[in-house]
Amino acid sequence: MKEALISDPMLILAYLFTVLATVFAMSTVEAFKRFFDFLPAVIWAYFVPMISTSVGIIPDTSPLYTWTSKYVLPFALFLLMLTIDLKAILKLGKTGLLVMVLASISIWLAGIMAYALFGPYLPQEAWKEFGALTGSWIGGNANMVAVGNSFEPVVDLSRIIVMDTVVGYGWLGILIWLSTYQIALNKHFKADTRVIDELNAHLAEADMEKKPIETLQIMYIIGIGMAVTIVVVALAQFMPKVGNPTLISASTWAILLLTTLGILLSLTPIRKIEISGASRFGYFALYFLLTTIGAQGDITKIFNTPLYLVAGIFWMVTHAGFLYLIGKAFKAPSFILATASMANIGAAASAPVVAVAYQPAMAPVGVLMAMLGYAYGTYLGLLGAWVMSQVHGWF
């Protein structure tokens, strides 16, 4: 590959920040609203840098990418886990929580089935990519990167990023289209729609009023986040590697420790830093990380292996079948089913879009379900990768 137009790490940093700011600024323009509803700004945080690398504007390797992978991902996950409102999530009610968890399990099972069926015809390392996509489709982008970075060497995510976008957001469109038939679907499932009224009441109780952030609070949020991240990353170097091939490396230990620590601290008064919007710093770090992931990708790879897309479609169709059975068995409203599905597949970027399509005032339900997925997505992604590695041994 010829030398990139921009190669200095600081210039790459400036370029990626500019891309991120431009994409998210455009997503707020009313004229582009419907476009970004179907293809959220977070997707373009992958693709614009990926295209930039493909045409030679920035390189596919840089010390900047290594640094962000090692420190920015743990920092983002720690802040996101630290600010989870577990009490509000529990108030989703029995039906909401059950459907969300079962939807996650269905995606996990469907992924293993897809790999068992298509794995023999895919590259040797495909089980690692499928494991990372399991993390993405259960929790979100942070979980995908966390699982992908657990392997040695770190897995190339470019193929599954395209797979995630084409299949995942195709499913988004289908779920939104089905919202026009939700009354008929609820009758078919014999759904108890009282759960929706209960959710409205609980959301009103769980609403947290955010205050304007001050300079001292910015220093506090970034300071505690980076301090904890650096200490845990350093300690993780002394943890033993697990698996052959390695499934839990030093970087994985760092992610697992920080995720668990963040969740535990979310149950303490420290979580009150969310009043100042601490999670926004976590999301910003995550979105910046996604630009560096995209920059390392080669968009042409997915076209060299179109079977990935076929496997992804099979995976999603299987999940849809499980989702139908869940709806019938638990008489779940179509709103809960669709929102839970997209809270897994698209996480916080897309779940509110689907929630609003079914119930205009229920966007927070999508966010709460997505945060639950964030909490356990990395664990299920790693477990899925291990199972797939065992399946790989049968080929």
Cα-based torsion angle of the residue sequence 23, 24, 27, 30 in order, rounded to the nearest 10 degrees: -120
Q: How far is C-alpha 368 from the geometric centre of its chain's CA atoms?
A: 13
User: Has residue 262 been placed in a domain?
Assistant: yes
Residue type (1 letter), 387: V
User: Has residue 1 been placed in a domain?
Assistant: no
User: Has residue 166 been placed in a domain?
Assistant: yes
User: Has residue 4 been placed in a domain?
Assistant: no
Residue 1: band (very low, low, confident or very high) from pLDDT cuts 50, 70, 90: low
Residue 387: band (very low, low, confident or very high) from pLDDT cuts 50, 70, 90: very high
The torsion region of residue 308 among left (phi > 0), alpha (psi -120 to 50) and beta comes to alpha
Residue type (1 letter), 264: L
Region 108-135: what's the mean pLDDT?
A: 93
Q: What is the pLDDT of residues 306-357, one digit of tens each?
A: 899 999 999 999 999 999 999 999 999 999 999 999 999 987 767 877 887 7
Q: Higher confidence at residue 43 or residue 288?
A: 288
User: Looking at residue 214, what is its pLDDT?
Assistant: 80
Q: Which domain holds residue 182?
A: 9-392
User: Has residue 197 been placed in a domain?
Assistant: yes
User: Has residue 3 been placed in a domain?
Assistant: no
User: Has residue 2 been placed in a domain?
Assistant: no
User: Has residue 292 been placed in a domain?
Assistant: yes
Cα-based torsion angle of the residue sequence 171, 102, 74, 291 in order, rounded to the nearest 10 degrees: 0
d(CA 14, CA 49): 12
Cα-based torsion angle of the residue sequence 281, 93, 175, 294 in order, rounded to the nearest 10 degrees: 20
Q: Tell the residue number behind the tokens 């395209």, with chain if given.
A: 162
Assessment of whether the complete model's pTM goes beyond 0.75: no
* C-beta of residue 157 within 8 angstroms of C-beta of residue 305: no
Residue 241: band (very low, low, confident or very high) from pLDDT cuts 50, 70, 90: confident
Residue 378 scores a pLDDT above 90: no
What is the number of structural domains in the chain? 1
